[in-house]
């Protein structure tokens, strides 16, 4: 069945057809979430949440537009929510450690979850830049398409992409140089 037909079927209440849509998009969504969050559990949570919201708001989806972009846009927002939640937890942990150091003997990780990023170099990028880079490199998106996902202007997307590419290039050059030294 075609994607549009599946969406129409879901709109009529056939939840099982949404599973077919999910089967197509889950690996892509998981890859994107992993690239942004760097933590498998968080990425799974973000994906689940994104799919639930997508199903519940399917009636609002403009069928003339790309479903993938719409889903990515929801997923991107869920990922940002996960990061915000993580930051709040970190603040709480730090506070707890300050108030009662005996309770928490080990130091909390300054960036919990980020250790799972596919590459250490991605730490240098902000979540927005990671998203843009992922959409550009993995999906071959243009600035206009990236802007649709991020819900910003194409020029803003271009600036994020430029910054991400520049940071990565510098980091790659640096790591190459350090490899040559050793």
Partner 1 sequence: MLRCRFIDLFYTILPLKIWRDFLIRSHIERCSYCQAELASREAAGSLLMTENEVSLEASLWPQVKAGLVSFKDDRAQAVPLLAQKRWRWAAATAGLFIAGLASFWLLKGYRTEDMANGGKSPDRFRINYIKIEDKPAQAYLYQPGESDLIIIWVQKSP
User: Which one among 8, 11, 28, 97 touches partner 1, defined by CB under 8 A?
Assistant: 28
**CB of 178 closer than 8 Å to CB of 170:** no
Shortest spacing between CB 11 and partner 1, in angstroms: 14
**Taking contact as CB under 8 A, which single stretch among the options 82-90, 92-100, 104-112, 161-169 is the one that binds partner 1?**
161-169
58 vs 104, beta carbon nearer partner 1: 58
Name the 3-class secondary structure at 65.
coil
DSSP 5-26: HHHHHHHTT-HHHHHHHHHHHH
- Give whichever of 18 and 70 is closer to partner 1, judged by the CB atom: 18
Residue 182: Cβ-neighbour burial (10 angstroms; 0-12, 13-18, 19+)? exposed
Neighbours of 10 (CB within 10 A): 21
Rule CB under 8 A: choose which of 81, 119, 144, 174 binds partner 1. Answer: 119
- The Cα–Cα gap between 75 and 45 comes to 10
Q: Closer to partner 1 at the Cβ: 7 or 122?
A: 122
Any contact of residue 68 with partner 1 (CB under 8 A)? no
From 82, 77, 100, 91, select the one nearest 150 (Cα to Cα): 77
Binding of residue 79 to partner 1 (CB under 8 A): no
**Interface with partner 1 (CB under 8 A):** 15, 18-19, 22-23, 26-28, 30-31, 34-35, 44, 47-49, 51-52, 55-56, 118-119, 121-122, 133-134, 136-138, 140, 153, 155-156, 158-159, 162, 164-166, 168-169, 172
């Amino acid at each position: 069945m075609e994607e549009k037909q599946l969406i129409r079927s879901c709109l009529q209440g056939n939840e099982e057809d949404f599973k077919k849509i999910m089967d197509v998009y889950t690996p892509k969504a998981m890859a994107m979430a992993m690239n942004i969050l760097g933590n498998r559990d968080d990425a799974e949570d973000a994906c689940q949440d994104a799919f639930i919201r997508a199903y519940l708001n399917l009636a609002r989806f403009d069928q003339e537009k790309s479903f993938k972009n719409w889903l990515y846009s929801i997923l991107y927002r869920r990922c940002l929510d996960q990061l915000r939640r993580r930051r709040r937890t970190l603040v709480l942990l730090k506070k707890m450690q300050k108030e009662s150091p005996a309770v928490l003997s080990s130091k909390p990780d300054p960036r919990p979850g980020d250790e799972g990023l596919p590459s250490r170099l991605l730490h240098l990028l902000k979540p927005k830049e990671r998203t843009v880079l992922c959409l550009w490199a993995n999906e071959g998106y243009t600035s206009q398409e990236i802007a649709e996902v991020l819900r910003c202007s194409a020029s803003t997307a271009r600036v994020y992409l430029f910054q991400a590419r520049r940071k990565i290039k510098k980091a790659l050059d640096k790591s190459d140089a350090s490899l040559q030294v050793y």
